[in-house]
Amino acid sequence: MRAPFGARVTTAVSLRGPLCVGIDPHPGLLEAWGLPVDPGGLERFALTCVEAFAADLAVLKPQSAFFEAHGSRGVAVLERVIAEARSAGALVIVDAKRGDIGSTMAAYAGAYLSDGSPLAGDAVTLSPYLGFGSLEPALDLAGKTGRGVFVLALTSNKEGATVQRAINPDGATVAQLIVDEAAARNAGASPLGPVGLVIGATVGRTGLDLTKLNGTILAPGFGAQGGTVGDLSRVFGDALRHVLPSTSRDVLRYGPNVKTLREAAIRVRDRLAVHH
């Protein structure tokens, strides 16, 4: 039995720092690296990232959509990225943002959270906007297999605010209700529970009460999307110690040279560690 996700991510961050690097094989990045936009170029890009980052960083986050865009060969590359990154000691969050109901949600949970599935990393991102309770199959399976989930709470895209910042009759925002649901499932876990949140690094003052979360926060948007170390302090306050700032383009633009990529990531990691 593996240790629970909350314990593993706490240990990984203490040993390797708080940075999460996204492996986002965007066609524009493949072209910038001089690679063809096809499964072969995808594979070279993604495995170069694994070679550059997996031995030194706590968390890698492959974005599933960019692999799926290449069909079955692309998904096979994603499976290899997950396996090789984990073998090198990094935790892997599969950024798939799945959300559905009933047997379909159970099938997604099986794909990303079950032992023996080639798509199962250490955690997966989920969307709760069919109701937080619809995620129960994934939450249950994550608990049984020692994996984690990261639930979208307050994202940095402008369209998200109409739903996430909407006020319920009791006066709480939808985002706060998601925080509270996650906190309830993490209650009593030590050092942290398995249910994390996704909160954008560029959302500004959130108005969220994170004091009872007892979980990890994934903060995309750090770096190229404008999020700074100062923003992280303003957005998360005392919860900053549980935040995984996530960057992709800000580091990936230094490819395709492995040494240059690794050095860029370590610079960002070490800058964050001073403030974490």
Residues 133-162: tens digit of each pLDDT: 999 999 999 999 999 999 999 998 889 999
Distant-in-sequence, close-in-space partners of 75: CB < 8 Å, separation ≥ 6: 67, 68, 119
Does 205 score more than 90 pLDDT?
no
Question: CA-CA distance, 200 to 158, in Å (whole number)?
Answer: 11
Domain ranges (residues) in the chain: 5-269
Question: CA-CA distance, 109 to 62, in Å (whole number)?
Answer: 17
CATH fourth-level superfamily of 5-269: Aldolase class I (3.20.20.70)
User: Residue with structure tokens 């925080």?
Assistant: 179
Type of residue numbered 19: L
What pLDDT is recorded for position 186? 98
Single pTM value for the model: 0.96
What pLDDT is recorded for position 224? 58
Instruction: Give the pLDDT band (50/70/90) at residue 237.
Output: confident
What pLDDT is recorded for position 235? 84
Residue pair 195/215 in contact (Cβ under 8 Å)? The answer is: yes
Instruction: Give the pLDDT band (50/70/90) at residue 230.
Output: confident
Does 127 score more than 60 pLDDT?
yes
Partners of 93 in the β-ladder: 123
What pLDDT is recorded for position 143? 95
202, two tokens: 């560029």
Residue pair 29/252 in contact (Cβ under 8 Å)? The answer is: yes
For 86-96, write each residue's pLDDT tens digit: 999 999 999 99
Does 54 score more than 70 pLDDT?
yes
Type of residue numbered 124: V
Question: CA-CA distance, 254 to 233, in Å (whole number)?
Answer: 26
Query: Which helix H or strand E contains 182, and what residues bound it?
Result: helix 174-186
From 33-42, 144-153, 221-230, 258-267, the region with the lowest mean pLDDT: 221-230
Q: From residue 51, how far is each of 59, 65, 87, 88, 153 by CA, in Å?
A: 13, 21, 11, 9, 32
DSSP three-state, residue 68: helix
Residues 93-100 have a mean pLDDT of: 98
Does 276 score more than 70 pLDDT?
no
97 is a catalytic site residue: yes
User: Do the strands 195-199 and 217-220 form a parallel or antiparallel pair, or are they unpaired?
Assistant: parallel
Average pLDDT, the chain: 94
What pLDDT is recorded for position 227? 65
Closest listed residue to residue 45, CA positions, set 254, 188, 200: 254
| Catalytic one of 61, 97, 212, 259 | 97
φ, ψ of residue 99 in degrees (nearest 5): -165, 125
